[in-house]
Amino acid sequence: MKEKWQTVRYAWWGLRLIYAASPARTTFVFFIKMIDSILGPVLVWISAKVIEGLLQDHQVFLSFGPVFWMAILFVLLTILVDVLNPYVEMNKKLLTAQIQKHIDEQLMDKANSFEDIAPFDETGFHTKVKVVRYNEYFITLWLEMTASTFGGIVQIVASSILLWNVIAYVPLLFLLLALPRLFVEAKLNNATFEGREEVQELRRRAEYFMGLPLQHELANEIKLYRLTPYFTAKYKEMARQLIHQLSRDQKKWISHNLGWGVLEAVANGVVLILIVQKAMAGVLPVGELLVFIGALFQLREGVTELFGVFAIGAREMVNVSRIAQFLGANGSAPSGTAPFPSGYQTGYVLENVKFSYQDGRDVLQIDHLVLPEGKVTVLVGENGSGKSTLVKLLLRFYEPASGTIRFNGRALGDYDISAFRAHSTAVFQDFVRYEMSMKSNIGVGNLPALHEQSEIEKAAALGGADEVASRLRDRYETEIGRLFGGVNLSGGEWQRIAMARACMRNSSAEILIFDEPTSALDPYIEHEIFSRLKAMAKNKTVIVVSHRLSTAKLADQVVLLHKGRVKEVGDHHTLLKQGGIYAELYQMQASKYV
């Protein structure tokens, strides 16, 4: 019972969604659908009356009496239907676009509402997004369906009125016949629905393998290893499975529909014979016979429309509910209310912090760690030791499973998350290459200053991107990235731009996090940038992840992570003297240069 109510709730939600996308257009489409459904039986009735009149007196038109005007009305209504149809189609198309825009906006709002990253990590997140986007198309079907439901009812009622005098039970017979079909179809619909997750997963994989050989950034590797035939084979396999699935679904459909179609046609035929028999026996005049035959077809059309719609409705409900659930999901940890503290304080203090991703593996286990304000701390450690995870926890992209992370004396969760983020800046290992102008690439680091050229140039100079701009034809206005025909840059040049982006918040940010910010930079600029970071560290908490221990040498504090635990803490010289893992790593790197 609860499920039924849930269905009704989602159905209502789906309708409201459509209406919200465009109230005027939705009303128009529904109204026209109604008119269209009534017109069918009305035209049947008028045409029968005209024919009856003509049969009685074939010169009836010459007297300009009621039959003549009925004939005129018939023509006018037919023209009306023809004129309305293109308008209806146009409005449906526009409404579809508006609904898609409306859902896209809601999806973007949803993504914006996730303050942490955990929802993006969830298994099946990508499939879910894909399913929701795929369902945007189906929500318009939902519109058609609801309109058809009303249309079907109107048509059934109108044609039943016409049939009432002859065979009153016909509408009931047709409804009864359609009922089992409804249930079977609803079941079949779910089993053969193209938007179901397993089909979407196959489609996504097929698209992935198909796209690989066509991507510019991947061309080097794919050409070198001659991977195109390999990916083509993988694509073919996915596509084969997809087509197999589709053909199996379609066969199920056909065999089912064929059976019911034959049964309904037989019932239709029987009723038709009954009506003709009555006419032959002289009970029915020819005009009425025509009305009944027409009404019978109208009735069948109405029943098919209504029940077809119900069957699809069951399937569409799955989609509508998926969209509703996705958009209604609560993804983020709640934000606190405390404002960001000003002035020089303690920086980060971590106590008994434990963290694991969804797979449950312990990734971090930190008993105690201080990352002081006013200092540069460099995090070092082998691959997978948890450095990037730690910086993400420091920015509150994830919540620790247990323990506390404090910044300037307060737990991170207490801070107003927007204020906290506004005072942080970062360059991530997987920084983004925005396919936009260089100016926008840098400016998005601080949206309010996006159009302030002097701020952009200042940040570019700090991040070492000024020199990149000076080499471009339109300097900061140059479009970069290949997707829209812009200039392609080298890996190091992109990284300098990411650095500049982070520097856009130089004056407001008090937490500066750099996850391997110089991995692609040449030694000159790396040295220069690190010196700038040190200069910026005054009254700020600066954390740098680096594999280059030459960087660590310049830091105020080095933290060595090993398998998610803090193994060594101190400055470069202290750690060297300790002779632990850091000393070993350093000797190893240094020996390469000797």
Query: Which residues of this chain interact with ligand ATP, rule CB under 6 A?
Result: 121, 357, 359, 363, 381, 383-389, 429
* CA-based nearest residue to 407, from 370, 360, 359: 370
Residue number with CB closer to ligand ATP (308 or 580):
580
Cβ atoms of 132 and 326 within 8 Å: the answer is yes
Residue type, 534: K
Residue number with CB closer to ligand ATP (114 or 260):
114
> Using CA atoms in the order 517, 519, 523, 525, what is the torsion angle rounded to 10 degrees?
-30
Q: What is the smallest separation between the CB atom of 90 and ligand ATP, expressed in angstroms?
A: 46
Residue number with CB closer to ligand ATP (363 or 462):
363
Cβ atoms of 206 and 242 within 8 Å: the answer is yes
**Residues paired with 406 in a beta bridge:** 349, 411
Residue number with CB closer to ligand ATP (67 or 391):
391
List the end-to-end C-alpha distance of the chain, in Å, as a whole number: 77
Q: What is the smallest separation between the CB atom of 425 and ligand ATP, expressed in angstroms?
A: 19
Q: What is the smallest separation between the CB atom of 5 and ligand ATP, expressed in angstroms?
A: 37
Q: Taken in order 564, 567, 570, 575, is the CA torsion positive or negative? A: negative
Q: How many CA atoms are closer than 13 Å to the CA of 593, on its beta-carbon side?
A: 7
Residue number with CB closer to ligand ATP (121 or 477):
121
Question: What distance in Å separates the CA atoms of residue 151 and residue 473, rounded to the nearest whole number?
Answer: 62
Q: What is the smallest separation between the CB atom of 149 and ligand ATP, expressed in angstroms?
A: 45
Q: What is the smallest separation between the CB atom of 82 and ligand ATP, expressed in angstroms?
A: 58
Question: What distance in Å separates the CA atoms of residue 379 and residue 541, rounded to the nearest whole number?
Answer: 13
Q: What is the smallest separation between the CB atom of 395 and ligand ATP, expressed in angstroms?
A: 13
Q: What is the smallest separation between the CB atom of 522 and ligand ATP, expressed in angstroms?
A: 21
Residue number with CB closer to ligand ATP (39 or 513):
513
Cβ atoms of 445 and 452 within 8 Å: the answer is no
Question: What distance in Å separates the CA atoms of residue 127 and residue 373, rounded to the nearest whole number?
Answer: 42
Q: What is the smallest separation between the CB atom of 565 and ligand ATP, expressed in angstroms?
A: 12
* CA-based nearest residue to 70, from 104, 43, 97, 94: 43
Residue number with CB closer to ligand ATP (138 or 398):
398
Cβ-count burial of 407 within 10 angstroms (0-12 exposed, 13-18 middle, 19+ buried)?
A: buried
Main-chain dihedrals φ then ψ at residue 267, nearest 5 degrees: -60, -40
- Residue 479, both tokens: 């479009």
Residue number with CB closer to ligand ATP (183 or 357):
357
Q: What is the smallest separation between the CB atom of 358 and ligand ATP, expressed in angstroms?
A: 6
CA angle 547, 385, 490 (to 5 degrees): 40
Residue number with CB closer to ligand ATP (23 or 384):
384
Question: What distance in Å separates the CA atoms of residue 272 and residue 294, rounded to the nearest whole number?
Answer: 10
